[in-house]
Amino acid sequence: MPAPAGTFFDAMADGYDVLEPWYEHLYAVLHAVLRRELMPAAGRPRPRALDAGCGTGFQAAILAEMGYAVHGLDLSHRLLCGARARLDGAPLVQGDVEALPYGAGAFDAATCCGSTLSYVGDARRALSEIARVLRPGGRLLVECEGRWTLDLAWAWLSGLVGDPLGYELTPREVWRAAKTPRGRACRIRYPGYGTLRLFGMAELTRLLRAAGLEPVGAWGIHSMTNLVPSTVLHRPRLGRQMAALYRILCAVDRALAGRWPAARLANSLVLLALRRSP
């Protein structure tokens, strides 16, 4: 992962755990999927799990509650300080997802969420590293930024009329991202979050399979909620009418999360993959 990413997340550490409406919905749906799909089998020795890009430990804490012996890794020293407070003695390492400091087959499950994959320099290498440290049959839950979203249309329209929605992008920048060839990484700026890599579901599936991971489940979060521009939802609270509309959209979004096309046209793509035998 590029060094500036660690500096960027260090700078935002103080407010990292303050969830805006956008993130409240994202983590509610994501964590429901995590609890359902990564539940360890009963009656076996205590399994081990890795939270790759753990931040302040949102996913790691849930894995620990589910019975895993949890390890966490993040590039940001200050986010790891928050994770240490939350996880009470779990082994945490400051390191790069593209070069994991663990042995092959060390874990039974892994998560890579919080858009970690959208910040790494080489997504293929990061996924190969996660696959390497998973045992055959181990499960990975990955969440990253989606490419084909209504939010790109909002950004384009906003740029056409002077950017009243605050995406800080010109229509040309949006169009260039939308036209990025399928074989090249698509990246775009987002206000307050730097430059993000956007993934299509087909691209993400190819990257997982190239790493030895077989996708077995897919969900999309923030597909229907994109009827409201994301910049409106990245704020501490919403007005009464907008909050009522957003609650309705969140309910529809949850209901459609695992269905096509919502699972492919969402801001956050979530895939469950199994580590194939070598």
Do the strands 194-198 and 134-145 form a parallel or antiparallel pair, or are they unpaired?
unpaired
Question: Are residues 29 and 37 in contact, defined by beta-carbon separation less than 8 angstroms?
Answer: no
Mean pLDDT along residues 103-130: 97
Q: How does pLDDT run across 216-254, given as a tens digit for each residue? A: 999 999 999 999 999 999 999 999 999 999 999 999 999
d(CA 27, CA 278) in angstroms, rounded, equals 33
Helix (H), strand (E) at residue 159: helix 150-160
User: Parallel, antiparallel, or unpaired: how do β-strands 134-145 and 186-190 relate?
Assistant: unpaired
Residues contacting 193, CB < 8 A, separation 6+: none
Gap between the Cα atoms of 243 and 231, Å rounded? 14
Token pair, residue 203, equals: 């691209």
What angle is formed at CA 102 by the lines to CA 97 and CA 103, rounded to 5 degrees?
A: 130
Neighbouring-strand partners of residue 94: 74
Q: Yes or no: say if 54 and 60 are a contact pair by the CB < 8 Å rule.
A: yes
For the chain, the structural domain boundaries read 3-275
Prior bond to 47 cis, omega within 30? no
5 or 86: which carries more pLDDT confidence?
A: 86
Q: Is the pLDDT at 16 greater than 90, yes or no?
A: no
pTM of the complete model: 0.94
Mean pLDDT of the chain: 93
Q: Report which DSSP code applies to 199.
A: B
Class of domain 3-275: alpha beta
